Amino acid sequence: MTLQVRQVSKTYRGAGKCVQALLDVSLQVSPGELLAVHGASGSGKSTLLLCCGGLLMCDSGEIIVDGLCPYALGHRRRTAFRAEKVGFVFQQFHLIPYLNVLDNVLAASVKRNSPPSRERAMNLLEQFGMHDRLRHFPGELSVGERQRVALSRAMVNAPPLILADEPTGNLDPKNSRVVFQALRDYAESGKAVLVVTHEDVSLSLAHRTLMLDRGRLENQESRG
């Protein structure tokens, strides 16, 4: 398994309030699989993703990515783990406004100045139809193009796991389909992809879907 989540719980505490974000969540994503977790806003989807990506420590349970538990690693090694093992895609794209398209992709590259990294970045951008926009800045791109750049950035290190948080939330149906198809293609190249979304239209391309409701996994269904 590329990603194993075992009985993970997470509670946010603060100002006398407790919010149970995740409760005994268990799931796994195999290589070659795109798993979509859907649910309403506030159901704990983003929390699940951050925990899986080694950014947010859960209160209990265990998370294993490509055989490693990120929270068992030290600070520095966990940072390296994120760079090498995980690719992130966000709804807001989070592109760096003063870097051009190519440099945005290379910013995530472990060996960003090496020719192979550069070649891989350019190949990815070409694959996403961005080969003629390499020197453009994010402010000069459409939202669909920005998300394609964000996808290229997530894939540039060829991580075994991609975590996507509402990747099509700001896109029109056509672009949503392009992005989801790209994620599926990436999964089918032998990697694992976990997508959290609340859009039904995106779910049709997932290999498997799960529903998260107030921090609990409700059902599981398989698709083609």
Partner 1 sequence: MIREIFHRKAVFIAGMLAVALSVGIGGGSFTLLRVFDRETEMILQAKHDEVELAWARFRDDVRRSMLELGFNLIIVHKEQTLSTPDEETRYLPETYADTLATAGLMTINHVLPFLQKQVWWEEQKRWVTLYGTPGEVQVNNPARQVPIVRSIRPGHASLGRGIHESLGLRKGDRFVMMGREFVVQDCRLAEGFQEDEQIRIPLDEAQQMLDKPGLITGLMAINCVCDDPEGLAKIRSAVSAVLPNTHVREHRGNMVVRAEERSRAARETEASLERERRSRADLRTRRETFNAVLLPSVLLVAALWLGLMTWMNVHHRRGEIAILRAIGWTEGRVFRLFLGKAVLTGVLGGLVGYVGGQLILAVHLGFSNVQLYGAGMLIVSILGATMLALLASWLPASLAARVDPAVVLQQE
**Between 98 and 142, whose beta carbon lies closer to partner 1?**
98
9 contacts partner 1 (rule: CB under 8 A): no
**Between 87 and 209, whose beta carbon lies closer to partner 1?**
87
Query: To which H or E segment does residue 104 belong?
Result: helix 101-106
- Angle made by CA atoms 180, 189, 145, in degrees to the nearest 5: 35
When binding is defined by CB under 8 A, the residue of 62, 84, 188, 199 that contacts partner 1 is: 84
**3-class DSSP assignment, residue 210:** strand
**Distance between CA atoms of residues 53 and 6, nearest Å:** 14
Tokens of 9: 């719980």
**Between 98 and 201, whose beta carbon lies closer to partner 1?**
98
138 contacts partner 1 (rule: CB under 8 A): no
Would you call 125 exposed, middle or buried from its count of C-beta atoms within 10 A (0-12, 13-18, 19+)? buried
Q: How many CA atoms lie within 13 A of 11 on its CB side?
A: 11
Torsion sign, CA atoms 105, 107, 113, 116:
negative
Answer yes or no: are the C-beta atoms of 92 and 170 closer than 8 Å: yes
- Least separation in angstroms between residue 217's CB and partner 1 is 20
55 contacts partner 1 (rule: CB under 8 A): yes
186 contacts partner 1 (rule: CB under 8 A): no
| Count of residues of this chain found to bind partner 1 when the rule CB under 8 A is applied | 28
94 contacts partner 1 (rule: CB under 8 A): yes
Query: CA 140, 145, 149, 152: dihedral to nearest 10 degrees?
Result: -160
Query: To which H or E segment does residue 120 belong?
Result: helix 115-127
When binding is defined by CB under 8 A, the residue of 26, 60, 92, 114 that contacts partner 1 is: 92
**Between 125 and 205, whose beta carbon lies closer to partner 1?**
125
114 contacts partner 1 (rule: CB under 8 A): no
Binding mask 140-179 for partner 1 (x = CB under 8 A): -------------x-----------x--------------
- Least separation in angstroms between residue 108's CB and partner 1 is 4
13 contacts partner 1 (rule: CB under 8 A): no
69 contacts partner 1 (rule: CB under 8 A): no
Closest CA to 196 of 42, 2, 4: 42
Residues that bind partner 1 (CB under 8 A): 46-47, 50, 53, 55-56, 75-76, 79-80, 82-84, 87-88, 90, 92, 94, 96-99, 103, 107-108, 110, 153, 165
